[in-house]
Structure 1
Amino acid sequence: MKTTVRENLTGRVLLVLLMAVTLLPFVSLFVTALHPSGTYPSGLSWPADPQWGNFLDAFRAAGMGTLLYSSVLIVLGVVPASLLFGTMAGFAFGHLRMPGHRAGFLVFVLGLTLPFEGIITPLYYQVRDMGLLNTRWAIILPLIGLFMPFSVLWMRAHFVTMPSDLSEAARVDGAGAWQLFRRVHVPLAMPALSSLAILLFLWTWNQFLLAIVLVDDPAKRTMAGALGAFQGQWGTDIPLLCAGALLILVPTLTVFLVFQRRFVAALLQGSIKG
């Protein structure tokens, strides 16, 4: 009994410490953003006169409305396509298991080891030759390809656990491969699909490197990518820069808080099945 109490206490202490370490950067950003514009705050001192208007000033200075529109367009271009292709490929690798599926799946697994930074130079020249530089397609198309390995691996992990009896029963009723995929397995894969959609949304929204390298116009970047231009213009105004960074975090934080139950449920479902 004493051992159990000690373990529970240790776990709670570690959890509190981890939470404090995680929240400290956000608290620092928030407190700094409330200092008067143009000052250089030190530490976590709360300002005597909090400048809540810094958030509105940062919103206007960065043109957040235009950036929000651009980010939504990029997300709508990347996430649905990645979900569709990843689900279809995951179903083929995990359930249909067509000839050569092991070798094909190995290629996708190797794709997980490919860092964005390692391909940015050849990717730049390829996008340039395609005439897509300084367009949103320069972000959308590479992200779809770069997200494919993880999307396929994630969905295959779900489909490989599906009992074959479901497919056999559907085939007896005359269902083909497409009907089997669309009417039987996709509805059962909604927890995995929703959690993958959340991850893809977060990664796309926070994409920084491709946005600043492949797109010169900040209005056509993601919000995180446009922060580079905002930093160059307001880099000496630390409170305004912190306010802009927090505004960029709001959509991703909101999405995660709203869908966190579904996301955690999908992760636990995968651990139980696996």
Structure 2
Amino acid sequence: MIVSRRETVVGRVLLIVLMLVTVVPFVSLFVTALHEPGTYPSGLEWPETPYWSNFVDAFQAANMGALLWSSVLIEIGVVPVALLIATLAGFALGHLRPPGHRVIFLTFLLGLTLPFQAVIVPLYYQMRDLGLLNTRWAIILPLIGLYMPFAVMWMRAHFVNMPEDLSEAARIDGAGTWKLFTRIHLPLSTPALSSLGILMFLWTWNQFLLAVVLVSDPTRRTMAGALGAFQGQWGTNVPLLCAGSLLILTPTLIVFLIFQRQFVTALMQGALKG
């Protein structure tokens, strides 16, 4: 397929516009965070005296050391468990295809249409009855369940496109189902698993609604969820609020930059298979 010079130029212009639309808000946050505390900056005007100490003050005021530890604990509780369950379920639905797998598939497909906001009230009463309100389990357990429809569909789409010849050859050599899964399919699933893990990491880190509704103690929330309490305390101090927001965004940006190649590879692999 030959691409004309005009199409190339238009594509590059669109990419530059999209890049500016994405980057400008972060630049605005950064510039605002460097202004004098208590002021109300306007636009993208660089301050005469940058207040780099705003980042230190925001880190201390929001108790971000405790928030970082809480977010890490929640990530450890959500991402590995969700990946394990989704991989096993995706392998069963996409490769083994047991009786009734179409009904199960449709059930997960319906789960994709269920927004978090629609289940937040039932989740609150359920966590209250279980005695888990104001604990990290009130975030971990619902997130695992709410991630399942997408995660299972993601892994099923990977396993359903695996060549049948590999499984047939392994079974001829005497491999059972578990050995087939662990020795053949799982090593070939690294791109799909890594990209799904990145997505769930980002979603969990940025989870706001469940953290605010189900956990009242800011130090037991995710960092994004604790931003609500930070905003309530320092909402009139715009530079400090912007500095805190950037500190919360930094870990997710670092993770995406480190693993962006694996993420893009998995997306391209899925597109080519589709």
**TM surpasses 0.5:** yes
TM tier, smaller: over 0.9
| Corresponding residue for residue 272 of structure 1 | 272
Read off the aligned partner of 1:8 and give its amino acid letter: T
What CA distance in whole angstroms lies between the structure 2 residues aligned with 1:269 and 1:74? 30
| Mapping 1:140-151, distance limit 5 Å | 140-151=140-151
CA distance in 2, matches of 1:198, 1:238: 31
Inter-partner Cα distance in structure 1 for 2:201 and 2:142: 15
Q: Within 5 A, what are the aligned runs for 1:200-215?
A: 200-215=200-215
Corresponding residue pairs, total: 273
* TM-score, length-scaled by structure 2: 0.98
Alignment TM-score, normalising by the size of structure 1:
0.98
Tell me which residue corresponds to 1:196.
Answer: 196
What does 1:70-149 correspond to in 2, within 5 Å?
Answer: 70-149=70-149
Deviation per residue, 1:179-219 (Å, 9 max, x gap)? 11111100000010000000000000000000000000000
Identity of aligned residues (%): 73
Aligned-pair CA distance for 1:227: 0.3
CA distance in 1 between counterparts of 2:80 and 2:192 reads 14
Which residue of structure 1 aligns with residue 233 of structure 2?
233
2:54 partner letter: N
Task: Classify 1:47/1:161 alpha carbon distance in 2 versus 1 (closer, same or farther; 3 Å).
Answer: same
* Paired letter, 1:146: L
SS in structure 2 at match of 1:94 = helix
1:245 is matched by which residue type in structure 2? Answer: S
Residues 86-115 of structure 1, C-alpha deviation per residue, up to 9 Å, x if partnerless?
000000000001111001010001000000
Shift of 1:63: 0.5
Gaps of 5+ in 2: none
Distance 2:210 2:42 in 1: 33
| Equivalent position amino acid for 2:154 in 1 | W
Letter of the 2:222 counterpart: T
Shift of 1:3: 7.6
Instruction: Tell me how far 1:85 sits from its aligned partner.
Output: 0.3
- State the SS of the aligned residue for 2:4: helix
RMSD: 1.0
State how far apart, in whole Å, the 2-side matches of 1:142 and 1:179 are.
31
| Aligned counterpart, 1:258 | 258
Show the 5 A alignment for 1:6-21: 6-21=6-21
